[in-house]
Structure 1
Amino acid sequence: MPVNVYFNFNGNCKEAVEYYAEVFGQEKPEISKFGDMPADPNFVLPEEMKELMMHARLNVHGSTVMFSDSMPNAPVTFGKNITLAIVTGDKEKLEAEFNALAEDGKVSMPLQETFWSPSYGALEDKFGVVWQFSFEEGAE
């Protein structure tokens, strides 16, 4: 199972991902905006978030590199804007690894069902490394 790099930006993700696509000879990537998410009556999306990038992905020399803008109320500090993303089809292993890192870390999003994954969560481990875990049927 590969570990993927996930870059976070402060509102200029679209510019960054299009730049990297050009540099690495990739087609313009499909970009999902926060405004593309299904409406949730429990969470009203602030107007300023609707045009921010929720997710984009490039293949750089055989590695998946993913991109997103941060939430406006949670800007990233560069050097802390890179997270490691575990995408796996093994739900038990995903839960065990997430829970082990969460023990002495800080969970920012508990493992839960989202519209893109049956089990997704994020945390910062005890060393300050930010991890994202996502279950994807059939993933390595």
Structure 2
Amino acid sequence: MKINPYLIFNGDCQDAFTFYAQCLQGRIEVMMTFGESPAREHFPADVHNLIIHTRLLIGDQAIMGSDTTPDRPTSGMSGCSVSLNVDNVAEAERVFAALADGGNIQMPLETTFWAARFGMLVDRFGVSWMVNCEKDQ
């Protein structure tokens, strides 16, 4: 069993996942719009360019997501963070800086009593992230 975060956006899923692919050095496995889906005729033309499903692979892990339709907007992402556990301080610093670009740092990446580095941020798309490096390997 694997647990995969599924992120819902109000129209900027494609931009977010393109950004995440760069930041996390992952590969977008699939990105399908509402207009490309077999259910195309069930959606108004003005949502055909929105993402109905995407999947980003990072190693053997995945993050998935989609846009919502304008008649069902999400009020934002709160109460949950995507937690990244990395193996070394250099990678923690790289990932944290990349995700923080255009976002808001909630807790700077620093040494804590449990980790060589830990930090929290909200990225430019409103997604909360925690970057954790328990020890530098």
- Equivalent-residue separation in structure 2 for 1:56 and 1:35 (angstroms): 14
Give the 5 Å matches for 1:28-47.
28-39=28-39, 44-47=42-45
Quick one: which amino acid aligns to residue 9 of structure 2?
F
The ranges of structure 1 where at least 4 consecutive aligned residues each deviate by more than 4 angstroms after the TM superposition are none
Aligned to 1:105: none
SS of residue matched to 2:27: coil
Normalization by structure 2: what TM-score? 0.51
Shift of 1:25: 1.1
Higher relative contact order (CA 8 A, sep 6+): 1
DSSP 3-state at the match of 1:4: coil
Task: Tell whether the 8 Å contact from 2:30 to 2:56 is kept in structure 1 after alignment.
Answer: no
Partner of 1:10: 10
Contiguous gaps of at least 5 residues in structure 1: 83-140
Counterpart code for 2:16: A
2:50 and 2:17 mapped to 1: Cα distance? 13
Calculate percent identity across the aligned residue pairs: 30
Count of equivalent residues:
80
* 1:81–1:30 CA distance, 2 compared to 1 (3 A): farther
Bigger Rg, structure 1 or 2:
2
Q: Where does residue 69 of structure 1 map in the other structure?
A: 67
Tell me the residue number matched to 1:56: 54
Q: CA deviation at 1:29?
A: 4.2
Unaligned stretches of 5+ in structure 2? 81-137
Task: Provide the alpha-carbon RMSD of the alignment.
Answer: 2.3
Give the TM-score of the pair, scaled to structure 1. Answer: 0.50
- 2: CA distance between counterparts of 1:81 and 1:45? 30
CA contact (8 A) 1:14 1:53 kept: yes
Rounded Cα–Cα distance in structure 1 between residues aligned with 2:55 and 2:79 = 16
